[in-house]
Amino acid sequence: MSVVIVVGAQWGDEGKGKVVDLFTERADAVVRYGGGANAGHTLVINGAKVVTRLIPSGVLHPGKRCVLGDGMVIDPHSLLEEIGQLRAKGLLARGELLVGQGAHVILPYHKLIEAVREDKAKSAGRMIGTTRRGIGPAYEAKAARRGVRVRDLLIPARLRALVEQNLDELVPLILHFGGAAPTADEVSKWIDDALAAGETLRPMMGDASREVAHAVAAGKHVLFEGAQGSLLDLDHGTYPYVTSSATIAAGACQSAGLGPTKVDAVIGITKAYATRVGGGPFPTELDDETGERIRQAGGEFGAVTGRPRRCGWLDLPALRLGVRLSGMDGLALTKLDVLSGLPEIKVAIAYKLDGVELDEPPMDPDDMGRAEPVFTTMPGWGPIPKDARDLSDLPASARHYVEAVERWAGVPFSLVSVGPERAETIAISDPFA
């Protein structure tokens, strides 16, 4: 195996950061393929927390190439801030970073329009609950063919013309949503800042698609890192409560311009329970003490926004959909330890809608909102030993839970994570083997 995609199987925040970090040991290059600073991967290395938003989690392994794919939307200031923080920890010192020149750029007006639009939608009761990082508006500009790309940051006249063109279209909308139009001074500062960021990033910019293709042709191990989760996919997720990019495994090929025949394996990441941030139906949501207990035990607060995540029982219809959409051939189960101490654990094995049992979520948002989970209840377990390295080291009920989920999902587990540290992992198979 030389090309492996790692993708979230649920609504994001599945613990992809830790899994990508582990798999990077065997990779030569790690490629982030979608989204922008809406993602946040919290990594714990020797007790110290590192949060990455744009740069792939593989960055913790010095010398491994870290690529930002053309399908991303990049906020240059956020990127520079992140580069600074990582460099202060001694990382990214060897020219590891490659920023795809075809990736789109998030500028302050994207965040401005998103904020006023979400505020207005809130009062109308139909807020998406976005991360307000400008993701949607930047992808809108891309689809409308007026987007600013990374390469444009090096061409002042082109950048100015594009900003002007975008503001022509957006200012009336900003005013319509009750916002204030930016002043000429603000706009000129936005442009100057973007040009300055472009100059700093210049040595890191390049042709990401070509580099990935060459790495693959040379038989190197390339790991694609998905952001968000499969159910937040723009085409196949729980629309309209989704992000604006292709989060499923196919998005990796699209972002890198890599043919799907080159991909060898897709590993999905699922938590032992479910979480969701922002709006949208969530049938297994626990709006009670158990939900709060899981939130606290799992540290379920957004890595980017700090928002408390909605917590619920593992949702197999949603997981099956994620498995199908990304063609997962292996799964990593994370945060099993978070459920320790609960007297019993529930799992939604199906949904019921109008008397009919469904094995995957209905695609209509109203139907999804009405679907009732069909739960099965399993016994809980006590603490998981910190040194559990094999499934046989788990308490019997925890092992039964893992085996049952694997059977229900229909995909073998390639690892089970029992704590945030690298070592707190039960490795079952190597995706690059």
Binding residues vs ligand IMP (CB under 6 A): 11-13, 38-39, 128-131, 133, 135-136, 227-228, 232, 241, 243-244, 277-278
Q: Least distance (Å) from ligand IMP to the CB of residue 407?
A: 27
In this complex, which beta carbon is closest to ligand IMP, that of residue 106 or of residue 171?
A: 106
CB 331 within 8 A of CB 19: no
Cβ nearer to ligand IMP, comparing 265 with 303? 303
Q: Which residue is nearest to ligand IMP (CB)?
A: 278
Measured between alpha carbons, how far is 11 from 177 in angstroms, rounded to an integer? 29
> Three-state DSSP class for 330?
strand
Q: What is the β-pairing status of strands 310-312 and 274-276?
A: antiparallel
Token duo for residue 139: 């992808």
* Distance in angstroms (rounded) separating the CA atoms of residues 17 and 289: 28
CB 302 within 8 A of CB 39: no
Catalytic positions: 13, 41
Dig out the tokens for 174 from the structure: 């900003």
DSSP 61: S
How far, in Å, CA of 170 to CA of 113, rounded?
7
Per-residue H/E/C for 298-328? HCCECCCCCCECEEECEEHHHHHHHHHHHCC
Count Cβ atoms below 10 Å from residue 80 Cβ, excluding itself. Answer: 14
What SS3 class is residue 222?
Answer: strand
Structure tokens at 176: 């319509």
Q: Please report, in angstroms and rounded to a whole number, the separation of the first and last CA atoms in the chain.
A: 6
Closest approach of Cβ 25 to ligand IMP, in Å? 24
Q: How far is the CB of 251 from ligand IMP (least distance, A)?
A: 13
Beta strands in 313-424 (DSSP E): 314-315, 330-334, 344-353, 356-358, 372-379, 413-417
- 23 vs 282 by CB, closer to ligand IMP: 282
Q: Between 301 and 375, whose beta carbon lies closer to ligand IMP?
A: 301
Closer CB to ligand IMP, residue 38 or residue 417?
A: 38
For ligand IMP, the closer of residues 135 and 371 by Cβ is 135
Identify the residue whose tokens are 């503001």. Answer: 167
Extract the tokens encoding 358. 């469904």
| Shortest separation between residue 159's beta carbon and ligand IMP, angstroms | 24
Separation of alpha carbons 6 and 22, rounded Å: 11
Nearer to ligand IMP, 278 or 362 (CB): 278
What is the distance of C-alpha 389 from the center of its chain? 27
> In the complex with ligand IMP, which residue's Cβ is closer, 277 or 418?
277
For 28-51, the DSSP string reads: SEEEE-SB-TT--EEEEETTEEEE
- Which residues of 97-225 form beta strands (DSSP E)? 97-100, 104-105, 205-206, 222-225
Give Cβ neighbours of residue 428 (< 8 Å, ≥ 6 apart). 391, 412, 413, 414, 415, 416
Tell me the closest approach of the beta carbon of residue 173 to ligand IMP, in angstroms.
17
